[in-house]
Amino acid sequence: DAGVIQSPRHEVTEMGQEVTLRCKLISGHNSLFWYRQTMMRGLELLIYFNNNVPIDDSGMPEDRFSAKMPNASFSTLKIQPSEPRDSAVYFCASTRGGNQPQHFGDGTRLSIL
């Protein structure tokens, strides 16, 4: 079975550029989570969706960050404009809901120069 699929795996871009990260959920899962991981702050939840609806975006750091879920299986996380402090690994995870564990994608390593 295909797991959570994220793209790109790596992104290096200059500050000020728009960055779009993509995520495809596991088939049959209905909840999606975006996380950011850095050495200093560990794994932080940015936003999560249930059935395509954003439930909690309190972890989104600034208005420069936005996330959408246009359909049941796909989501994007955008950063515009990007800044060097946005450099991190961004993970997407999905679950069937309830108290089920989350399954993570491989992550996107983002470097903003």
Give the residues lining the site for another protein (CB under 8 A): 31, 33, 42-43, 45, 48, 50, 55-56, 91, 95, 97-99, 101-107
- Mapping DSSP to helix (H, G, I), strand (E, B) and coil, where does residue 86 land? helix
Q: How far is the CB of 8 from another protein (least distance, A)?
A: 15
Comparing CB distances to another protein, the nearer of 19 and 46 is: 46
- Give residue 94's Cα distance to chain centre: 10
Comparing CB distances to another protein, the nearer of 57 and 76 is: 57
Q: How far is the CB of 106 from another protein (least distance, A)?
A: 6
Q: If 0-12 CB within 10 Å is exposed, 13-18 middle and 19+ buried, where does residue 105 land?
A: buried
Q: How many CB atoms lie within 10 A of CB 108?
A: 22
What is the dihedral sign for C-alpha 59, 61, 62, 68?
Answer: negative
Comparing CB distances to another protein, the nearer of 18 and 44 is: 44
Q: How far is the CB of 79 from another protein (least distance, A)?
A: 20
